[in-house]
Amino acid sequence: MTMTLPEPLVLSTTEHNITVLTLNRPAKRNALTAEMCRLLTQEIQAVTDTANELNGMPTTRIIVIRAQGPAFCAGADLGAASEHTIGGTISAGVYSDDFHEALFSMLRAIVSAPVPVIADIHGPVIGAGTQLALACDLRVAGDKAWFRVPVASLGFALDGWTIHRAQNLLGGALARNMLIANQRVTASQAAAVGFIIPVKNPTQAEEFAYEVSRLAPLAMQQLKTALNAQDATYQLSADAQALFDACWSSTDIKEAKQARAERRAPIFHGR
C-alpha cells in the first residue's frame, strides 16, 4: 500500500532572485496554526541566514507571500483541537500561548527580514492574516480582497504593535472602523489610502515583484529598517496593557470560546 504524504503547509520556490512562500491550506482557507507560523518564520529566516553567510545581501532580493485557494488567510485557526496533557487540557489555536509566540515570531521575522516582503492578496484577509499583511512592507491585491480584524466580536484584546501598525498604514479613522466597529476594509478603501497596490490578476503581481527586485538592495534595506523603527519599539501604555491583560483573562473571552463550541453568538457582559 502506497502512503500518501500530506501536502506541505507552506510551499517555497525561488526564481529570478524572488522567493515565493505560499500558504497551502486551502481547505481551511489558509487559517494559521502555530506550525504554519513557525514554517513561515523558518523560510524567512533562511533568507537572513544566507545573507549572514555571504556577509552581505542575500541572493533573494524579494520575498512574496501568497496563498492557495480563494482566501488569502482566514486568520488564526479557532477550531484547532485541544491538546491533552498530564496536567490537563491546553487550548490550541488563538487561545494558546504557543500560537501567540509563533505568530509574533513570524511577524518579527517579516519585519526584520533584510529584503522587502510583499503580500500578494487575491481574497479575504482576516484576523492574524491581516496582521501578516500589516507586517509586510508592500501589499498588492485584487478587487476581491478585503481585510477584517474581528477581535471585538470575539472578545479578544489586541497587541499594541498591531494597533499602531494599522493606524500608521491605514490611517486612524479606517483603523478604528476595522478594529472597534468590526468593519471590513474593502480593496477600494485600502487602495484609496495606499495600503495596497491594486492589481487585476496574479501576473501583474509577479511583474510588480520583479520590478521591485531590480531596485538597489542596500537602499531598500536601509529604507525598510528606518520605516519600521518606530513600530518596532512601540509599547502599550500601562493602562492599555492592564486592559489587555484583563480582557484575555475575562469571563467574556471564556464566553466567546464556549459560544463558538456551541455554534451560537456570544453574549458579552463586560467582565
Model pLDDT, residue 87: 41
Round to whole Å and give the CA distance between 265 and 261.
10
Residue type, 75: G
**Cα distance between the two ends of the chain:** 55
Is residue 84 within 8 Å of residue 106, measured between CB atoms? no
Beta strands at 124-126 and 146-148: parallel, antiparallel or unpaired: parallel
Kindly list the structural domains of the chain, giving each domain's residue range(s) and its CATH number in brackets, ordered by start.
10-203+213-235 (3.90.226.10)
Model pLDDT, residue 88: 42
What's the pTM? 0.90
Round to whole Å and give the CA distance between 124 and 171.
20
**DSSP letters of 213-247?**
HTS-HHHHHHHHHHHHHHHHT----HHHHHHHHHH
Q: Render pLDDT for 122-162 as a digit per residue (tens, 0 to 9).
A: 999 999 999 999 999 999 999 999 999 999 999 989 999 99
Model pLDDT, residue 52: 63
Model pLDDT, residue 236: 80
Low-confidence ranges of the chain (pLDDT < 70): 1-5, 51-57, 80-95, 232-234
Model pLDDT, residue 239: 86
Model pLDDT, residue 90: 41
Residue type, 12: S
Beta strands at 146-148 and 185-186: parallel, antiparallel or unpaired: antiparallel
Model pLDDT, residue 195: 98
Model pLDDT, residue 126: 98
